[in-house]
Amino acid sequence: MQPIQTLFDLRGRSVVITGAGQGIGRTFAKSFAQAGATVVLAEMNELKAKTVADEITSQGGKAVVIATDVGNHASTQKMAAQVRAQLGKADVLINNAGIFSSLKMRPFEQIPDDEWERVLHVNITGVFNCCRALTPLLRASASGRIINISSGAITLGRPNYLHYTTSKAALLGLTRSLARELGPAAITVNAILPGSTHTEIERETVTPQQRQHIVEMQCIPRVQVPEDLVGTAMFLASDASAFLTGQGITVDGGATHT
């Protein structure tokens, strides 16, 4: 058994966070950097990622931006090659990128075909691409970790973004099966299911009444913020969770009980 003092120690870990230019990914990047990890912001919006990286480095943290489209196989392979070249290793992959805040909530019959395809592609195939690209590096780590950001919307069966909930439900199957494939390499694969989380990004089709309704469903009746997810992500990234794999952990203030 390793010393208790090091169980949650993330110093020196190389943590790749997709979609870290805003919202939850941005908070993950800043928090992991504060914990002493070197964070890789694998983001399509390079400008936003650079702003986050500048915030991190100005506070003494270590951050690298790699422009990445998770939906593009070649782009994710290139990202992994750059991680290898610049950091020499990857210990943790947080699959956070997704098409989410830009989505208009609407009845499923009104979802255009191309939007359906795009959401499933980025939110599912994007995770597959990143897992595939980074697994060689994760295998070489003593503490390989994959953390997939699913959603509590799949437990609730939230209506009006059927492509989104379908894509996030797929991540649970992916998590469970990949955990079996990568378990022999001691790489853990888990999912976090966040409840509705208020970020700096406004969502035009979510009304104040809907927000209030969600808060009322929670055991802890206050608005959920990205910081509420950090502790669980850090636990799943740390040595403390080395024997926990294939699980989905809901962090939603108790809105749902699974």
Ligand X SMILES: NC(=O)c1ccc[n+]([C@@H]2O[C@H](COP(=O)([O-])OP(=O)(O)OC[C@H]3O[C@@H](n4cnc5c(N)ncnc54)[C@H](O)[C@@H]3O)[C@@H](O)[C@H]2O)c1
The answer to whether 122 contacts ligand X (rule: CB under 6 A) is yes
Q: C-beta of 2: minimal distance to ligand X in Å?
A: 31
CA dihedral 204, 207, 208, 213 (to 10 degrees): -140
**Scanning residues 216 to 255, which ones bind ligand X (CB under 6 A)?**
none
* From 56, 164, 179, 241, the catalytic residue: 164
Q: Which of 10, 16, 17, 24 binds ligand X (CB under 6 A)?
A: 24
Residue with smaller CB distance to ligand X, 104 or 180: 104
Q: C-beta of 206: minimal distance to ligand X in Å?
A: 9
3-state secondary structure string, 122-179? Answer: HHHHHHHHHHHHHHHHHHHCCCCEEEEECCCHHHHCCCCCHHHHHHHHHHHHHHHHHH
Site map (CB under 6 A) of ligand X, residues 148-187, x = contact: -x-x------------------------------------
Residue with smaller CB distance to ligand X, 155 or 238: 155
The answer to whether 98 contacts ligand X (rule: CB under 6 A) is yes
Q: Which of 77, 199, 210, 256 binds ligand X (CB under 6 A)?
A: 199
The answer to whether 210 contacts ligand X (rule: CB under 6 A) is no
Residue with smaller CB distance to ligand X, 96 or 175: 96
**Scanning residues 68 to 97, which ones bind ligand X (CB under 6 A)?**
68-71, 96-97
Q: Which of 13, 17, 21, 29 binds ligand X (CB under 6 A)?
A: 21
Task: Verify whether residue 161 is a known catalytic residue.
Answer: no
Residue with smaller CB distance to ligand X, 28 or 179: 28
- Burial degree of 96 (CB within 10 A; 0-12, 13-18, 19+): buried
Query: Minimal CA–CA distance to 103: which of 38, 158, 40, 174?
Result: 158
Question: By Cβ distance, which residue is nearest to ligand X?
Answer: 23
**Rounded CA separation 13/229 (Å):** 19
Q: Which of 13, 14, 15, 19 binds ligand X (CB under 6 A)?
A: 19
Give the active site residues.
164
Contact positions toward ligand X, by CB under 6 A?
18-19, 21-25, 43-45, 68-71, 96-101, 122, 126, 149, 151, 194, 196-197, 199, 201
